[in-house]
A and B are shown apart, each in its own frame.
Chain A
Amino acid sequence: MSADHTDPPPKVVKRHRLSTRAWHWLNVVAVFTLLMSGLTIFNAHPRLYWGQYGANPDAPWLHIGATRGGEGFLRVGGIEIETTGVLGVWEKDGQTRSRAFPHWATLPANYSLAAGRKYHFLGAWLLIVGGVLYLIWSLLNRHVWRDLLPKRGELSPPHLWQDVKDHARLRLPRGEAAARYNVLQKLAYLLVLFVLLPAMVLTGLGMSPTMNASWGWILDLFGGRQSARSVHFIAGLGIVLFIVVHLIMVVIAGPVNEVRSMITGRFRLPAERKAPAEEAA
C-alpha cells in the first residue's frame, strides 16, 4: 500500500502512429483471411514439390494425407508422423473426414476451392493495397529509419545476447525503454515486413500463369512454379510462427496496455524496476 503512495503516477505516452495502427488491424483481417483460405487451397492438393512441375505421380517433399486404413499422416522427406484427428483425418459432426487441414482451420469451413480462392484474393488485395500505402507512408514519415532499423550498437553481439537473455527471462523493458522497440522486436518486424511478406506476395504472383508469362524472373528466383508454391507455404508458416510469438509477447507485456496502445496509440509506461535490494525485500 505504502509503495503506491510514493510511486509517481504512470506516465502515458503516444506510441503508435495512426498509420501503424490502421495497418496493423487491416492486416489482422487480411492475414487471417489469407492464412485460413490458404489452407483451403492447400487441401485441394495437399502435397508440396520442388522444381517446375509436380503432380500426383511425382514425389512430394511434404504430403498430408490418409492411409487406406483411415489414419492421418504428415510426411516430410523421409519422416512420417501419425496425425489422425488433427491432420489428414479428423471428425466433424460425428463424421470422419479425410482432408489435410481440419474444418476449423480453413476458410470456408466446408471445403470449397472456389470460395477459398475468392477469399484468398480478397485478402491478397487488402494486404497489397494496405501494404503499399503503409510502406510509402512509413518511408516518408521515417518510421522505418526512426523506429524499425536497429541503431548503431544494437546489433553488437553483447547487446543482442543481452536482449535474448532478457526475453528468455521474460524481463521486458520498463520505463522510457518500453516505448521503443527492442532489437529482437525490430529484427522480427523487419523480417516480416521485408522478407516474409514480400516472399508471400512474390511467390503468390509467381503461381499465376498470366503473371509468370510476363514476369518469368519470379519463377527463376524461386526455382520453378512448384518451388514457389512450397516457399509460399513455408513463408506462410513463418508468419504463423511470428503471430504466435507476437501474441505471447503481448500477453507477457500486459495485454490491456498493449492492445490499447495499438487501438488509441496511448501507452502507459511500465514503472521502472526498483533497485535489486528493494525487489528482494
Chain B
Amino acid sequence: MTMDRRKLLAGLRGGVVLGAGIALGGCQKILETGPVDEVASSLDLFTRDAQRLVTRPTALAREYAPHERSPDFRANGSRTVDTPEYRQHLARGFADWRLTIGGLVAKPMSLSLAALQRLPARTQITRHDCVEGWSAIGEWTGTPLGLLLDMAQIRGGARYILFRCADSFGDTPYYESIDLIEAFHPQTILAWRMNGEPLPERHGAPLRLRVERQLGYKHAKYVTGIEAIADYRQIAGGKGGFWEDRAGYQWWAGI
C-alpha cells in the first residue's frame, strides 16, 4: 500500500513533467511545420465541401420572435468611419450616398439609398455569431442581394461577390467576399434597418451585409460597392477578406 502510493507519486510527477514537455514544445512545433500547417490551412474548403454535402444549400438560418432579441446588440470591429466623406454622408442622412454594383456584370449600376429602399425588402430576426464565440439576436431589414445581382445580370465567369467598404483598419480598407451559393441565399440581404430603426453607425450605416449562415466577420459593414469577380486571389492580400488577410481567419466562415 505505501509502496503503491510512493510509486504513484513518483510516476505522477514523471507523467506531469513528460506531459508538460510534450504539450509545451512538441505539439506546436509539429503543427507549425510545413506539411501539417498546409493541411490544416487547406482544411477550410474541405470543411465547406463536407458541410455542403450534409446540409441543404437553401436551408434557412433560424429566425426568432421579436421578444427573443438581445436587449443590447454588441457592436464589434469598426464602430465608426473616420473619413470626412463618410462624416458628410452621415450628417446628410446618406441622401446622396450611392451603392455601386460592378465587376463581371452586364449592367453595372449605382443606386441611391432611397432607390434601394424602394425595392422589395426582407425582414428577418436572426442570430449573429461572432468568430470569438459570442452571439446576439437582432432584426434586420434590407434588400436581398440576389435581387440586385439579378438586376445587374452577373456574367458567366463570376464565381464570387466582393464587398468594398468605407471603413479602414489602419490603412487597409475593409472588404469581404462570399461565393454565389451564399450570395443568392434568400436570407443574404444588404440591411439598412436594424430593430426597426435606420441602421446605426456602429452597426455599419447606411448598409451592411447580412449573410446569416456565416460568422460575423463576413457581415461587412459600411458597404459602398459590390463586384462580381472570378477570383479573389488578386485582391488586396489575396485571402478573400480583411480578417482573412490580416489575421489568417478562414475564408469559409460557416463553422
- Residues of A that sit less than 8 Å from B by CB: 32-33, 36, 41-42, 44-45, 47, 52-58, 104-105, 107-109, 112-115, 117-119, 121-122, 125, 169-170, 207-216, 219, 225-226, 229, 247-248, 251-252, 255
Chain A residues whose CB sits within 8 angstroms of the CB of B4 once the complex forms: 170, 252
Please, what's the 1-or-0 string for B118-161, where 1 marks a CB less than 8 Å from any CB in chain A?
A: 00000000010111111111000000000000000000000000
CA distance A113 to B130 in the complex (A): 12
Give B241-255 as 1s and 0s: 1 = Cβ < 8 Å from A's Cβ atoms.
001000111100011
Report if B112 contacts A (CB, 8 A).
Answer: no
Q: Are A213 and B213 in contact (CB under 8 A)?
A: yes
User: Which stretch from B38-46, B163-171, B224-232 is at the chain A interface?
Assistant: B38-46
List of 4 A-B pairs having minimum Cβ-Cβ separation, nearest first: A210-B254, A251-B11, A214-B55, A55-B134
Say yes or no: B131 contacts A44, CB within 8 Å.
yes
Bound state CA distance, A23 and B32, in angstroms?
Answer: 23
20 other A-B residue contacts (CB within 8 Å) besides A112-B247, A215-B55: A44-B133, A45-B130, A53-B70, A55-B136, A56-B74, A57-B71, A57-B72, A113-B249, A121-B43, A121-B44, A122-B36, A208-B51, A208-B255, A210-B254, A211-B254, A213-B212, A226-B135, A247-B15, A248-B8, A252-B4
Measured in the bound complex, the distance between the Cα atoms of B41 and A171 in whole Å is: 48
The verdict on B60 contacting chain A, using a C-beta distance below 8 Å, is yes
Nearest CB of B to A237, in Å: 16
**Of the candidates B8, B20, B135, which one forms a contact with A52 in the assembled complex, judged by CB atoms under 8 Å apart?**
B135
Partner of A251, one of B12, B129, B249, B255: B12
In the complex, A58 Cα to B247 Cα: how many Å? Answer: 27
- Decide if A57 touches B133 in the complex (CB within 8 Å): no
The CA of A204 and the CA of B12, in the complex, are separated in Å by: 32
Q: Which of B18-71 contact A (CB under 8 A)?
A: 19-20, 23-24, 27-28, 31-32, 36, 39-41, 43-44, 46-47, 51, 54-56, 59-62, 64, 68, 70-71
Count of inter-chain pairs, beta carbons less than 8 A: 162
B interface residues (Cβ-Cβ under 8 A, vs A): 1, 4-5, 7-8, 11-12, 15, 19-20, 23-24, 27-28, 31-32, 36, 39-41, 43-44, 46-47, 51, 54-56, 59-62, 64, 68, 70-74, 127, 129-137, 212-215, 243, 247-250, 254-255
Measured between beta carbons, the chain A residues less than 8 angstroms from B213 are: 209-210, 213
The docked-state distance in angstroms from the alpha carbon of A36 to that of B134 is: 20
A169 and B2 alpha carbons, distance in the complex (Å)? 11
Which residues of chain B are near A58, meaning CB under 8 Å? 70-72
Q: How far is the CB of B74 from chain A (nearest CB, A)?
A: 4
Task: Please tell me which one of the listed residues B31, B59, B249 contacts residue A214 in the complex, with CB atoms under 8 A apart.
Answer: B59
Q: Which residues of B contact A219 (CB under 8 A)?
A: 62
7 example contacts (A-B, Cβ-Cβ < 8 A) are as follows A32-B23, A36-B27, A170-B8, A209-B61, A209-B212, A211-B51, A252-B4
Residues of B within 8 A of A214 (CB): 54-56, 59
Q: Are A53 and B40 in contact (CB under 8 A)?
A: no
Closest approach, in angstroms, between the C-beta of A47 and any C-beta of chain B?
Answer: 7
Asked whether A207 lies within 8 Å of B129 as measured between CB atoms, the reply is yes
Contacting residues, chain A, for B32 (C-beta < 8 A): 108
Residues of A contacting B1 with CB < 8 Å?
169-170
- Find out whether the CB atom of A56 lies under 8 angstroms from the CB atom of B248: no
